[in-house]
Chains A and B, each alone.
Chain A
């Protein structure tokens, strides 16, 4: 086992750990904001580690670039949708509060 493979395995394991943590967070956290937090932050980090691990494993610059783009687009899409969901929820909460208050 070369040092490269060891690093790959470690990166993949760390990535899986973050995914697991993120999933656990989605399942166990109480409200939508903290769930979103778990989902986007931990999962994106996990995906990043796994992408890094795979890039190292394949070890070709073109493939590494492709993998980077996969990670980058996922990051962009998930952060945008997280923001939109959070905003929607906040607006709903505010209008709900207003209704209850008035």
Chain B
């Protein structure tokens, strides 16, 4: 029975991935992408990876999906112009003329098929390496937290996590580069809908509480900085959409502080520990629990701010017509 469920889920994920890439309209692609993310999240749950499921549903399907949806506002008009009959979803016959020629496609398909067979064989025959479960279990009491995934993320392999928080900040900087750095200069004109505003106002404290719960609960169960950060980031995005762009009323230095404090505190704490003769990110066992909690909280706030800023900036790019002339 359980094999049946897993099999159906696997086939569903593959089907959704294929449909997502082959869909005729971009809207379909994006919504199938949401569905694909949720199918994967279910797969993570089936595999016992609840943290990954929350991260996938919240970050990959949720946040990226929202970004893609937002991008549709840019792309969809021309797409429906090219496509005369958007209601039925049928492809007009003249659309296929810019497809690549047949032979390279055949060769590519053949190559991919061969590659798939080899990879299936390789995965089928993978010897059992045993993983690092035993090692993590042995050192878990010394890590200061009770949940093994949090212990790996924030203590055993904190270096990777620190770099990863850096990657988010770099992604934000990179998006600034693309969109111009006149960030938050324009107020965002939001939908003036009383119901929407009330619902957003209702959801703000709920999301905040739930995020804080996930953050604190990450010590002993699934949850932690990233999951909490996405929920808090969702607050920022919702407020932004509801006509309360939090960042535009904030002084610039405060915004910069919020964006960088997670990364900065993480590193400065590491340097401080180095100054006392430990290695970088080597938390003394007696204080590791509280240190990890502080690092996680600040990191979550920073990531939440970065996610909101990524969304808001991508939005602002569209509202900025006079940039187009200045850079071409």
Q: Is A4 an interface residue (CB 8 A)?
A: no
> Looking at the complex, which of B76-84, B122-130, B193-201, B307-315 is the stretch in contact with chain A?
B193-201
The 8 Å CB contact of B193, one of A73, A76, A77, A84, is A84
Main secondary structure of the interface of A (DSSP, over half): helix
Residue of A nearest to B200 (CB): A80
Contact A80 B196 (CB under 8 A): yes
Query: What does the 1/0 interface line of A36-79 toward B look like (CB < 8 Å)?
Result: 00000000000000000000000000000000000001001100
Measured CA separation A80–B193 after assembly (Å): 11
Q: Is A83 an interface residue (CB 8 A)?
A: yes
Main secondary structure of the interface of B (DSSP, over half): helix
Contact B206 A73 (CB under 8 A): yes
Q: Which 3 pairs show the lowest CB-CB distances between chains A and B?
A: A80-B199, A83-B195, A84-B196
Contact A76 B202 (CB under 8 A): yes
Distance between B8 CB and nearest chain A CB, rounded to angstroms: 15
Interface contacts (Cβ under 8 Å), in number, total 14
Q: Is A87 an interface residue (CB 8 A)?
A: yes
Chain B interface size, under 10 / 10 to 19 / 20 to 34 / 35 or more: under 10
Task: Give the chain A neighbours of B206 by CB distance below 8 A.
Answer: 73
Distance between A16 CB and nearest chain B CB, rounded to angstroms: 14
Q: Hey, which bits of chain A sit against chain B, CB under 8 A?
A: 73, 76-77, 80, 83-84, 87
Task: Give the chain A neighbours of B191 by CB distance below 8 A.
Answer: 84
Residue of B nearest to A31 (CB): B87
14 A–B contacts, CB within 8 A, in A order: A73-B206, A76-B199, A76-B202, A76-B203, A77-B199, A80-B195, A80-B196, A80-B199, A83-B195, A84-B191, A84-B193, A84-B195, A84-B196, A87-B193
Measured CA separation A80–B202 after assembly (Å): 12
Residue of A nearest to B199 (CB): A80
Distance between A99 CB and nearest chain B CB, rounded to angstroms: 15
Measured CA separation A73–B191 after assembly (Å): 22
Distance between B234 CB and nearest chain A CB, rounded to angstroms: 11
Query: What does the 1/0 interface line of B200-227 toward A look like (CB < 8 Å)?
Result: 0011001000000000000000000000
Measured CA separation A1–B199 after assembly (Å): 43
Measured CA separation A77–B195 after assembly (Å): 11
Residue of A nearest to B191 (CB): A84
Measured CA separation A77–B202 after assembly (Å): 11
Other A-B pairs beyond A77-B199, A80-B199, 8, CB < 8 Å: A73-B206, A76-B199, A76-B203, A80-B195, A80-B196, A83-B195, A84-B195, A87-B193
Measured CA separation A76–B207 after assembly (Å): 13
Measured CA separation A84–B195 after assembly (Å): 9
Task: Give the chain A neighbours of B196 by CB distance below 8 A.
Answer: 80, 84
Task: Give the chain A neighbours of B203 by CB distance below 8 A.
Answer: 76
Residue of A nearest to B198 (CB): A80
Distance between B70 CB and nearest chain A CB, rounded to angstroms: 15
Distance between B15 CB and nearest chain A CB, rounded to angstroms: 15
Query: What does the 1/0 interface line of B1-17 toward A look like (CB < 8 Å)?
Result: 00000000000000000
Measured CA separation A76–B199 after assembly (Å): 8
Distance between A54 CB and nearest chain B CB, rounded to angstroms: 15
Task: Give the chain B neighbours of A77 by CB distance below 8 A.
Answer: 199
Task: Give the chain B neighbours of A83 by CB distance below 8 A.
Answer: 195
Query: What does the 1/0 interface line of B180-191 toward A look like (CB < 8 Å)?
Result: 000000000001
Within 8 A of A (CB), among B37-81: none
Residue of B nearest to A83 (CB): B195
Task: Give the chain A neighbours of B199 by CB distance below 8 A.
Answer: 76-77, 80
